[in-house]
Amino acid sequence: MSKKLSQEEMQAYWGKTSKLMWTILALWFFFSFVVHFFALSLNEIRVLGFPLGFYMAAQGSLIAFVVLCFWNASAQNKIDEEFGVSDE
Amino acid sequence: MAGAAANSSFLQNLGKIYAIYTGSFAGFVIFLGILEFFGVPDKILGYLFIFLTIGVYALIGILSRTAEVSEYYVAGRSVPALYNGMATGADWMSAASFIGMAGSLYFGGYDGLAFVLGWTGGYVLVSILMAPYLRKFGQFTVPDFCGARYGGNAARTLAVIILISASFVYVVAQIVGVGIITSRFLGLDFKVACFVGLIGILVCSMLGGMKAVTWTQVAQYIILIIAYLIPVVIMSAQVTGVPIPQLMYGQALEKIAALETTLGVAKGHVAAFADARGNFNMTSAINFFALILCLMVGTASLPHILMRYFTTPSVRQARDSVGWSLFFIFLLYFTAPAYAAFAKLEVYQNIIGQPITALPTWIASWGKPGLALVGACDAANAAEIFPICRGVTGNGDGILQLSEFRIHPDAIVLATPEIAGLPYVVAGLVAAGGLAAALSTADGLLLAIANALSHDIYYKMIDPNADTKRRLVISRVLLSIVAVLAAYVSGTLGADILFLVSWAFSIAASGLFAALVLGIWWKRAGDASGVASMLVGYGVCMFFLITTEFYGPAMKAALGDIVTIVNIRGRQVAYLWGINNISVGIFGIPAAFLAQWVVQKFTAEASPEMQDFIDSIRVPAGDVRLAPGMSAKD
């Protein structure tokens, strides 16, 4: 149940939340930019007719974004429950 | 109260209600199909589609009318995550996504994927940086947050200015989209069509504000996604035998690559960062990534999207809702490249190299005056049959060469039903889908603008003692004024302004992103730093927008080699370091971060009370501990 966190608890809570944020931000950066830096080389590989570089920009990264959003939601829920600060 | 009871039974039965709605819509489409079979003319089918769907949105709008401030501004914070996701999907996907994007992909190939990536990836930023914290803050608008976080009216006013600059150019582009669709399917004059669209927009939003817009947007999402998927699924089944276009267009890409060699197309459809001759080009790569960055950061800053997450019942649902939003948006965006690939294959395989007399019938029906979306420009007088051919000289050999074929980007989605040989009723369905996309986005944007004016400017700054009734009257009057103004601007400026959508992203990204993110994630950031961030980010962005767009030659004279002049939109537009000026956010975004950091070095930190307030919005549970000077809830 909900309660006001102490100074130390707040620091620990925000530390975990920040760590999750930076992890997902790094993956976001990878799927938004880094993977497409290699589009020319990836296009040499073909899967089901798709050149891989094209596939990543048209579908692969998009799937990754959807997964990242749901993953963030569930991981943050776990952190909230661990500290007893979920609002549901 | 009877109203409250009806409301809660509505919320408990959402699944059932929207299932019945979807079933009725399918029945309606089948009914129109039967009418078509018995020879009812296409034009009447077009009218039935457009007026019946607008009628349904109006009905939802009227049923959702409200006299409560929190229902008007944030739908009573009662929208479950899944439905808020659908509403956000409709809010997000505009006429540009529905009709225009497949066309950009047809022409741009790999380069066009910057839009697909840029218009999806930003939701990851919304999820991790923004939505849960803004929801916890729990007021009505994005300027509310800026005002509370950065000490009052200066920050609030700046946020309102940025919000209006970004949203107004965006809403004008949406009404243009509505005008194009209604004028095409009803045969109305474009200006008249813009005002018909305006009625469609106002009936949804005026009486019920956010509550009405939310439930209409859910209905609009269902129509737009059905309308988008059906033609391309059937096309995929016809071309490849499997009705999953998103997987099967790989085969189409392979055939396109083979045909490109035969036809002598230098720049392949899938070639990344290539110039017109197909060689690697650094400027093309830089523009690709600059556009992605601006669109993604813009996504996480556009107030009409952020305010959708104010409507969920909890912080937890706000986070889930971002995931659902992106999922529903993803369904359309990962299908768009399939449209482009199948259309290109059809053109390369069945159109180019054919005798003019043996072309498929869709060329003639979409090329005729009034539509003018395609043209077979072989004969010298081809422009008489195909207006789009004006200025193209064919060789008159009776065979259609690649250079003699013209197609408008909008034709890719609009003509696919006919390319696949489907009845007209499917074309009408696509029009209804495009209209739903444009109307829903326009609704969300108008509401964002009107709320900023009525809540932030009128209530918070001019008359804080206004009673509920007066506030709602003011909101509705302002909404109507802004809507009429936007329709007037759209009707006057016409169809050449769709590039404004990309500007809206750069403006919002430059002005709001740094201030919002640092406001939540940098506790010590003080009032002055936030104001400086918005001022500098917005200023830099607008400065580069205006100078590059309107003072290209002067810029070239002043700066020399780093400026390239490009002739577009009837002007000499300056590209700094080769960067297309739709991505001016690339200068504004870092400027805003830098300004906030530098000003923070020399000015006061946030007060302990302010830092305590920030701690309280970082945690889902518990009260929001307002700092002195912030007004209480509502």
Over residues B448-488, the pLDDT tens digits come to 999 999 999 999 999 999 998 999 999 999 989 999 999 89
Give the pLDDT score at B634: 45
Beta carbons within 8 Å of B404's beta carbon, 6+ residues apart: B376, B377, B378, B382, B392, B394, B395
Q: What is the per-residue pLDDT across A1-20, written as a single tens digit (0 to 9) for each?
A: 446 789 999 999 999 999 99
Domain boundaries, chain B: 10-342+423-511
Q: What is the mean pLDDT of chain B?
A: 92
Cβ atoms of B338 and B245 closer than 8 Å: yes
Give the pLDDT score at B118: 96
What band does A46 get if pLDDT is binned at 50, 70 and 90?
very high
Angle at A15 between CA A9 and CA A16, to 5 degrees: 95
* Phi, psi (rounded to 5 degrees) for B274: -105, 150
> Contacts of residue B125 in chain A, CB cutoff 8 Å?
25, 28
Instruction: Provide the whole-model pTM.
Output: 0.94
> What's the sign of the alpha-carbon dihedral B615, B618, B620, B626?
positive
Cα of B337 vs its chain's centroid, Å? 17
Restricting to B residues 154-213, those with a Cβ less than 8 Å away from any Cβ of A are none
Cβ atoms of B538 and B507 closer than 8 Å: yes
| Separation of alpha carbons B318 and B312, rounded Å | 6
From the CB of residue B325, how many other CB atoms can be counted at a distance below 10 Å? 29
Nearest by Cα to B590 from B523, B502, B506: B506
Give the pLDDT score at B1: 40
> Contacts of residue A43 in chain B, CB cutoff 8 Å?
270-272
Q: What is the per-residue pLDDT across B347-386, written as a single tens digit (0 to 9) for each?
A: 999 999 999 999 998 898 888 887 788 999 999 888 888 9
Beta carbons within 8 Å of A6's beta carbon, 6+ residues apart: none
Beta-bridged to residue B375, according to DSSP, are B406
| Separation of alpha carbons B385 and B300, rounded Å | 46
Smallest Cα distance from A61 to chain B, Å:
7
Cβ atoms of B337 and B105 closer than 8 Å: yes
**Choice between B207 and B135, residue whose per-residue pLDDT is larger:** B135
A14 interface with B at CB cutoff 8 Å: yes
| Separation of alpha carbons B459 and B449, rounded Å | 14
Percent of chain B with pLDDT over 70: 98
> Contacts of residue A45 in chain B, CB cutoff 8 Å?
none
Residue B632: pLDDT above 60? no
For the ranges B182-191, B224-233, B295-304, B375-384, the lowest mean pLDDT is seen at B182-191
Residue range B19-26: average pLDDT? 96
Residue range A17-27: average pLDDT? 98
Give the pLDDT score at A28: 98
For chain A, give the longest Cα–Cα distance: 57
Q: What is the per-residue pLDDT across B42-86, written as a single tens digit (0 to 9) for each?
A: 888 988 988 899 899 999 999 998 889 999 999 999 999 999 999
Residue B499: pLDDT above 80? no
Residue B258: pLDDT above 50? yes
Instruction: Provide the b/e sequence for B489-508 (b: ≥16 CB within 10 Å).
Output: bbbeeeeebbbbbbbbbbbb
Nearest by Cα to B204 from B190, B188, B218: B218
Choose the mutation target among B619, B623, B624 for the interface with A, i.e. most A CBs under 10 Å.
B619
Residue type, B251: Q
Cα of B281 vs its chain's centroid, Å? 29
Residue B633: pLDDT above 60? no
Smallest Cα distance from A21 to chain B, Å:
6
Cβ atoms of B72 and B447 closer than 8 Å: no
Give the pLDDT score at B2: 47
> Contacts of residue B619 in chain A, CB cutoff 8 Å?
5, 10, 13, 85
Cβ atoms of B471 and B453 closer than 8 Å: no
Nearest CA in chain A to B251: A49
Residue range B94-102: average pLDDT? 88
Give the pLDDT score at B496: 62
DSSP state of B570: T
Q: What is the mean pLDDT of chain A?
A: 94
Choose the mutation target among B119, B124, B623 for the interface with A, i.e. most A CBs under 10 Å.
B124
Give kind and range of the element (H or E) at residue B69.
helix B69-74
| Separation of alpha carbons B513 and A65, rounded Å | 20
A68 interface with B at CB cutoff 8 Å: yes
Give the pLDDT score at A3: 60
> Contacts of residue A25 in chain B, CB cutoff 8 Å?
124-125, 128
> Contacts of residue B326 in chain A, CB cutoff 8 Å?
65-66, 69
Give the pLDDT score at B513: 98
- How do B374-376 and B563-568 pair as beta strands? unpaired
The token pair that represents B471 in the structure block: 């506030």
Beta-bridged to residue B566, according to DSSP, are B573
Instruction: Please tell me the CATH superfamily of domain B10-342+423-511, with its number.
Output: Sodium/glucose cotransporter (1.20.1730.10)
The token pair that represents B423 in the structure block: 């009845």
